[in-house]
Structure 1
Amino acid sequence: MRIGRVLRAGAVVAATGLILAGCGGGDGGAGGDEAQVAADACPGGGGKTVTIGTKYDQPGLGLKTPDGLDGFDVAVGCYIAKDIWGEDVNVKWREAPSEERENLIKNGDVDLVTATYTIDAERDKIVDFAGPYLMAHQDLMVRKDYNEIKTEADLKDSDLKLCSVTGSTSAQNVKQDFAPQANLVEYGGYSECMTGLQSGAVDAVTTDNSILAGFASDPRYQGMFKLLGFNLSDEPYGVGLKEGDTELRNKVNEAIKHMIEDGSWQEFFDAHLGESNFQADPPKITEK
């Protein structure tokens, strides 16, 4: 049974499109376990209001559904809010596309960002990070019956058709560094890549293994695809926050430690990313 599958929207949906996360939960047909994990992870009440940015289009990590928001990043954000601001904190959600994350933080539109947000030197000049709370790596996903690529060495001479998402450098990096003979096939987003992979128009999709695992765990695709288990890069996911807010960064780091120590991190990971070949251990805090 998948627990904590969906964190339902609460009683208020603001005109700005922010979702107030309440204490209900479930996946439309599962039993009380799902609701309980959602309630434990995502509080709602009469306390302080905190706005968190996340992705709305990444299964397993941050996905907006008719029932609310679903995913590992969502559960992590909810846990952190509850740990810092208490049981009755109100969590409002705002969509945080990759290109908008720094602006949302700088402009004060969000308090925190949990949105597959890789810690790197250039971003760290603009915003602060806590964490990381997940260490991802670039990988490739292929159809379950595809066996032409088994090791990283096999990539060198392969002319595989590799999905390239407009605006992303993941596929270009693989072609440049690992698979110079690859043929890049460009699509507008990873959902389109998944359709292309399903139909055979492309042989592989590449991005962070956490994102690939989310798609592989999606009910629409379960059993169709596999991750190859390559660690082509390190992608430490941090919690983004305003530059210079050392006090908040330290509190978020403590919340992440609590989440790991009490077993919630593993519970969230298993529920949202566990139905694929993706494996990860809780990371060490580096942003202090």
Structure 2
Amino acid sequence: MRKTPSHRAGRALLAVALLLPFTGCAGEGPRSVKGKHTLRVGVKYDQPGIGMRRPDGTFEGFDVEVARYVATKLGAKDVEFVGLTSGQREDYLLHRKVDLVIATYSITAKRKTIVTYAGPYYVAHQDIMVRADDTSVSGLRDLKDKRLCQSQGSNSVLRVTEEHGIPATLVPAASYGECFTKLTAGQVDAVTTDDLILAGFALQQPKAVRLVNTKFTDEKWGIGLHRSDVRGCEEVNRAVTGMYQDGTAERLLKRWFGPTGVEVTTTVPQFEGCS
């Protein structure tokens, strides 16, 4: 049958009608963490003192406590924790599997093109951990030709091998928990990452390992949000400021890391700015 102008007009109107729900969604703007009833927060699950999953399935650690504080300030009534590895952080934010990532998530220029960062909520310093009886490592240069554990998704070893040009044999691991196990088992010679992460593991077996105490970077731990949530980022920054001003940050740092002897910073970090 020949299509008349009225038929063609009808089909055009139908097509527009089918598209309206989708264009309407686009006009609603990005979903923000501000004011959500339940916040899903990605945290580490195998880092003592930072983010650790208990046998009953609940989580504990410094990052976990920071997450609870920030969520309350954002107006959330409930927090659901999701355990993740370093390599999963961007994917979980991009695909909205979590609303926030608070998981020793160092701010880098590359990552800022993928996610939005609030904070930093803490500035750590990269250090080195070796077995307690290993006297061959007293500084960064001593890592030459050593077996260095490389946790998936982490940039820490690249600061040694690329930024400082120190040749080392990289031994892959799924997480820093696995790196710690490899170190104590003699499968690697050293683990290098942020001092608070290393300090947490050192508490598990204080006689088996030691920190070299050669702090050679500033690691700005940010709170990751979906790339579109600039408004939420600004609200998170307000919460982090309050956390330091009311003494909560100092209390949490001393609670989780005081026994390690690691020197902690208790003043508000300089924020990177939301963009």
Report the TM range for the smaller structure's normalisation: 0.7 to 0.9
- Counterpart amino acid of residue 225 in structure 2: L
1:150-206 CA distance string (max 9 Å, x none): 234x527x5433333456553354244547454444444433332332233433211
Gaps of 5+ in 2: 1-35
| Residue aligning to 1:211 | 197
1:85 alignment partner in structure 2? 75
Q: Could you tell me which of 27, 46, 64 is aligned with 1:57? A: 46
- Following superposition, the deviation at residue 66 of structure 1 comes to 1.4
- Tell me, yes or no, if the aligned pair for 2:88 and 2:153 is still in contact at 8 Å: no
3-state DSSP class of the match of 1:146? coil
Alignment of 1:35-74 (within 5 A): 48-67=37-56, 68-74=58-64
Once structures 1 and 2 are overlaid, which stretch shifts more, 181-190 or 48-57?
Answer: 181-190
CA contact (8 A) 1:60 1:214 kept: yes
Pairwise CA distance, 1:58? 1.8
Alpha carbons 2:130, 2:137 under 8 Å: kept = no
Q: Distance in 1 between matches of 2:272 and 2:232?
A: 15
Correspondence for 2:138:
150
Following the alignment from structure 2 to structure 1, what is the Cα–Cα distance between the partners of residues 155 and 105?
15
- Does structure 1 conserve the Cα–Cα contact (< 8 Å) formed by 2:86 and 2:153? no
Determine the C-alpha separation between the residues in 2 that align with 1:194 and 1:174: 18
Counterparts in 2 of 1:167 and 1:83: CA distance versus 1, 3 Å: closer
2:47 aligned partner, one-letter code: Q
Q: Secondary structure at the match of 1:275?
A: helix
1:239 partner SS: strand
1:22-62 per-position Cα deviation (integer Å, ceiling 9, x unaligned) = xxxxxxxxxxxxxxxxxxxxxxxxx9222111121222211
**Runs of 4+ deviating beyond 6 Å:** none
Question: What is the one-letter code of the residue matched to 1:79?
Answer: Y
Q: How does 1:1-288 map to 2 (within 5 A)?
A: 48-67=37-56, 68-85=58-75, 89-152=77-140, 154-155=141-142, 158-165=144-151, 168-171=154-157, 173-178=159-164, 180=166, 182-217=168-203, 220-281=204-265, 282=267, 283-288=269-274
TM-score normalised by length of structure 2:
0.75
Contact 2:119 2:272 in 1 (8 A): yes
- TM-score, normalising length from structure 1? 0.72
**Which residue is 2:33 aligned to?**
none
Structure with more of its chain in helix, by fraction: 2
Contact 1:213/1:278 (8 A) holds in 2: yes
CA 1:273/1:189 → structure 2, altered by over 3 Å: closer, same or farther?
same
- Amino acid aligned to 1:155: D
User: How many residues of Structure 1 are paired with residues of Structure 2 in the alignment?
Assistant: 236
The 3-state SS of whatever aligns with 2:66 is helix
Name the structure 2 match of 1:41. Answer: none
CA gap 1:263/1:149 in 2 versus in 1, 3 angstroms: same
- The amino acid across from 1:230 in the alignment is T
Task: Give 1 or 2 for the bigger CA radius of gyration.
Answer: 2
1:67-117 per-residue CA deviation (whole Å, 9 max, x = no partner) reads 41011111100000112216xx11111223323322322333322111111
* 1:210, distance to aligned residue in structure 2 (A): 2.5
Greater relative CO, 1 or 2 (CA 8 Å, sep 6+): 2
**Identity over aligned pairs, percent:** 38
Q: Quick one: distance in 2 between partners of 1:192 and 1:100? A: 16
Aligned residues of 1:163 and 1:186 also touching (Cα < 8 A): yes
